[in-house]
A and B are shown apart, each in its own frame.
Chain A
Amino acid sequence: MTTQVLELVVVGLVGGSLGALFGVGGGIILVPGLIFVADLSFTGAVATSLVCIVATSVAGSTVFLRRQVVDLDVAVELQFFAVVGAVVAGLSAAMIPTGPLYFAFSALLVVTAYHMRPGSIPHTSVETRPPRRGAARGASVGAGLVSGLLGVGGGVLNVPILHLLLGLPFERAAAGSIYIIGVTAGAAAAVYLARGDVHVTVAGTTMLGTVVGASLTAALGVKLDQRLLKWGFALLLLVVAIRMVGRGLAQF
């Protein structure tokens, strides 16, 4: 019992720290961590991760909203479309076998690792381009589906949606994404909670680690070689992706 509590706190700490360090929701680390370290089922890990994402998003959004860097006009509109996707995904998750979900998660890890490589995020000036609201709405539904099915925030999709499709400056896109992922994860978590997939003690313990990890990383303002750090994180994601494929194959 004590060992599992420690495992959950450590997974939360690592997920929260890396999430804050690389601007991702943390689900990308939490879900595999909860499966491989805390021995949770895929559904249990997804449900727990979603609850933790809500906590980290609330903490981050509070700061961004106070600094008025979240474009609420855009974020509140897109969050609706993301929630539609997340709820549909949450309801469908119970009917989808876990094998393919492991493969989908591995694919998401590879995509994230690709985007994580140094110099890959396009900080291009897109403010002059006309916003593509229809495409952004459709893509937000997709981001919600990914979030609800795989237990991630979907920041890897939200930031490009806000930055490339709607032309928000990168910093505002990142702040808006942190806000949107909390609402999206909250809606999906409510579905999992209503179905009885959320273990309150497990989620609470992991959330404690996540919040402490994210807060400490933000407060300490870790100054490491970003290039080396990004390569290291990308490599870690690829290793986890291979392990997830292995776990997925074992389901058949």
Chain B
Amino acid sequence: MPLIPLAHFEINRLQILDEHGNLDESLEPQLSPEQLLRLYRVMWLAREGDQRMLKLQRQGRVGTFGPTTGQEAPPAATALAMTERDWFVGAFRELSGMLMRGMPLASHYLFHNGWEEGNVFDAPRTLPISIIVGAQTLHAVGLAYAAKMRGERDAAAVTFFGDGATSEGDFHEALNFAGVWQAPVVFVCQNNQWAISIPRRRQTRAETLAQKAIAHGVPAIQVDGNDPLAVYSAAKEALDRAHAGGGPTLIEAVTYRLMMHTTSDDPTRYREETEVAEWWKRDPLVRFRKYLERKGLWNDERQAALEEEIRREVEEAVRTLEAATGFPLDAPFEHVLGTKHEAIERQRAEFLAARREERHG
């Protein structure tokens, strides 16, 4: 008997704005000048905030962190497509998206200096960074389930993760649960080509990361992750589908990690500088600026004003960081449980007594 083909799949790639700033007008999303300028501003703030933080870290003024330079487009453009009712569930390279949600830059600095106080900010439905690779994707599915069950039709959950995470079990479990439940989730893979020293081609034999969703019955698309318009369009379509009860979507945003994995990492041990230089030519900020200029929304004068404004904003965040010395050291005892327990309170007292002795001894 002949073999009968049972299923056919294809993965499409979306690009609207190429690396030279050329636009495919037929695909251009309907964004207002205010939205476009807001997106550009947030990406700039993320870039400058990141680069300033790198200097602070090298001076020992802030702790270890994972730089986000080069990856401003996927989180920021996705966040632009989100409503206040949607959940933002990131990994640890989504600074631009968290800024778009309303997190102050200073919060990012504080958290990376070991102050959880940096995770207490007013942005709506925005979870703190998640360091265990891929784990947070499941939280997004649960949040989406809860939103759906409670009849919140305008709420979906958007979760971010890297190319490495697509090898983790939790990622596959999350896609599978989301598919079965038709949960309103948008999975955004920031494929930045490198999981510390492991290049994309050694992470998986699959041609695209997007196709990993197909096995779970979840629609998927690959987008140029350095094209903010493509990311926005794909995210908007996925969110509209989720809000309308159409279930989850996976978006693979192809981008590049221009910096080290974290400040503890030395990428010269495993990748060629020529490759990095090639990707600098596809810088999303440069491309987006050209687009804004062609639309008559931007010029050198405005750029100079923006850079000055952002420089001041970043310095203000640095001042907030450096002023933060008075947070109580026994906060971990305060927040370990939601109820008070004698055995833990005793340890807190022991800890505080030991601190006093160390200071006076």
B is a partner of A: no
**A residues near B, CB below 8 A?**
none
